[in-house]
């Protein structure tokens, strides 16, 4: 006997929501998914009328659904936002070049302009070249640091007021576990915040903070969205993968584990001693971009690569402090590269 939709619409249920356990038809699932994200945006006051918002776009499921949702909700609820896609090309042959083609199709499908910045232009290095130097053990450290700064630099070039990223509930729960395992309790409050900002920093928002990854995949599948599904070829040994596997094991025993971990991170009180270990945001004296240190991590890693010392800045910075001090005066500031916006070839409004 077919199971009917839990919302009592009379239609046959085609899926069971991982988040709530409700059996829903396709239309009711779309409504629940979109309405919950709208509620998160409104409750957290993520945007103000007239905001210029950059959507971090990689072509993967999270960023593709985010772009679609931001356009859909902006039109439906009249947020009055100006949207732009911002993509970072890390220079990973066979992975990022293919995913950027997906982003370009999203640009045309959703009618949202696109800006692409590359590691090659910003740093003079691609991830392919970096991996050739450092191997597969610590390459995610370089990519994560460079990518975060590249998003900030792209956002500054565009003049946006907000950046939105596709970090979902699973991602945030993994980050909490990673910080706990590293003993980095001071960063717990920052990583659980739905918005991160400081006086001189463009706000970063996470509309998917309470959205399960499984539901994002289901939404993309049933909406027939165009996204790139291949995993990064350089990330099989990433530390995050072990945190992800642990959470999946816990989920088998306790279905609400992901949200429980997030709420635990939100409620955890950080003492003054731990807060002192998490320095205030400032500006790097070398490149001028946002940093919590005198010299930002990106400049330290870049100096190491350029001087043939790729492990400089990996792990505890104190281990390389003397070497860094010797290099600081020799660091060369790269000229800023400002790539143009690419506009949709034609506006193909996807079915909503």
pLDDT tens column, 120-154: 999 999 999 999 988 887 888 899 999 999 999 99
Over residues 46-74, the mean pLDDT reads 97
Phi, psi of 23 (to 5 degrees): -90, 120
pLDDT band at 109 (very low <50, low <70, confident <90, very high): very high
Both structure tokens of 252: 């088998």
For the entire predicted model, the pTM comes to 0.89
Other residues' Cβ atoms within 10 Å of the Cβ of residue 303: 23
- pLDDT tens sequence across 283-295: 888 887 877 778 8
Residue 339's pLDDT is 81
Residue appearing with tokens 């027939």: 224
Residue 281's pLDDT is 72
Q: Which residue has the higher pLDDT, 10 or 317?
A: 10
Question: What's the rounded Cα separation, in Å, for the pair 207 and 196?
Answer: 12
Are residues 16 and 28 in contact, defined by beta-carbon separation less than 8 angstroms?
no
Both structure tokens of 162: 């907000």
Residue 284's pLDDT is 83
Residue 189's pLDDT is 72
Per-residue b/e over 103-139, b at no fewer than 16 CB within 10 Å?
A: bbbbbbbbbbbbbbbbbbbbbebbbbebbeebeeebb
Residue 135's pLDDT is 85
Whether pLDDT at 214 is above 80:
yes
Residue appearing with tokens 């997030």: 262
CA distances from 59 to 55, 62, 102, 287 (A): 11, 8, 5, 29
What torsion do the CA atoms of 325, 329, 330, 331 make, to the nearest 10 degrees?
Answer: 90
Contacts 24+ apart (CB under 8 A), 260-269: 261/173, 261/176, 261/177, 262/169, 262/172, 262/173, 262/176, 262/192, 262/209, 262/210, 264/176, 265/172, 265/176, 265/188, 265/189, 265/191, 265/192, 266/189, 266/192, 268/185, 268/188, 268/189
Residue 326's pLDDT is 58
Over residues 109-122, the mean pLDDT reads 95
Question: What's the rounded Cα separation, in Å, for the pair 150 and 298?
Answer: 10
Nearest CA-CA partner of 30 in 56, 57, 65: 65
- Under 8 Å CB-to-CB from 125, ≥6 apart: which residues? 91, 119, 302, 305
CA distances from 347 to 64, 76, 112 (A): 16, 18, 8
Residue 335's pLDDT is 65
Residue 44's pLDDT is 96
pLDDT above 90 coverage of the chain, percent: 58
Whether pLDDT at 322 is above 60:
no
Whether pLDDT at 318 is above 50:
no
Question: What's the rounded Cα separation, in Å, for the pair 310 and 352?
Answer: 48
Mean residue pLDDT across the chain: 87
Residue 238's pLDDT is 73
């Amino acid at each position: 006997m077919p199971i009917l939709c839990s919302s009592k619409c009379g239609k046959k249920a085609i899926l069971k929501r991982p988040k709530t356990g409700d059996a829903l038809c396709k239309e009711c699932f779309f409504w629940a998914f979109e309405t919950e994200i709208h509620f998160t945006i409104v409750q957290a006051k993520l945007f103000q009328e007239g905001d210029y918002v950059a959507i971090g776009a990689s072509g993967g499921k999270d960023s593709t659904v985010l772009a679609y949702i931001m356009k859909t909700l902006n039109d439906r609820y009249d947020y009055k936002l100006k949207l732009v896609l911002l993509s970072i090309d890390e220079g990973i042959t066979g992975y990022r070049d293919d995913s950027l083609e997906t982003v370009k199709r999203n640009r045309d499908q959703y009618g949202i302009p696109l800006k692409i910045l590359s590691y090659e232009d910003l740093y003079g290095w691609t991830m392919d070249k970096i991996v050739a130097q450092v191997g597969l053990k610590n390459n995610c450290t370089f990519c994560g640091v460079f990518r975060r700064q590249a998003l900030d630099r792209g956002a500054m070039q565009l003049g946006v007021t907000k950046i939105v990223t596709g970090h979902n509930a699973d991602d945030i729960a993994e980050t909490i576990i990673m910080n706990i395992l590293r003993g980095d309790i001071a960063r717990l409050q920052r990583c659980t915040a739905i918005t991160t900002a400081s006086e001189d920093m463009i706000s970063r928002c996470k509309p998917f903070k309470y959205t399960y990854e499984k539901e994002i995949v289901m939404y993309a599948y049933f909406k027939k969205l165009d996204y790139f599904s291949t995993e990064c070829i350089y990330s099989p040994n990433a530390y995050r993968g072990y945190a992800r596997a642990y959470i999946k094991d816990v989920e088998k025993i306790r279905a609400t584990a992901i949200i429980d971990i997030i709420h635990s991170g939100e409620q955890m009180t950080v003492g003054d001693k731990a807060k002192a270990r998490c320095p205030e945001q400032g500006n790097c004296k070398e490149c001028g971009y946002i940093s919590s240190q005198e010299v930002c991590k990106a400049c330290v890693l870049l100096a190491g690569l350029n001087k043939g010392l790729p492990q400089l800045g990996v792990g505890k910075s104190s281990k390389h402090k003397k070497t860094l001090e010797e290099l600081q005066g020799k660091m060369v500031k790269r000229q800023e590269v400002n790539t143009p916006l690419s506009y949709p070839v034609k506006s193909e409004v996807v079915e909503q």
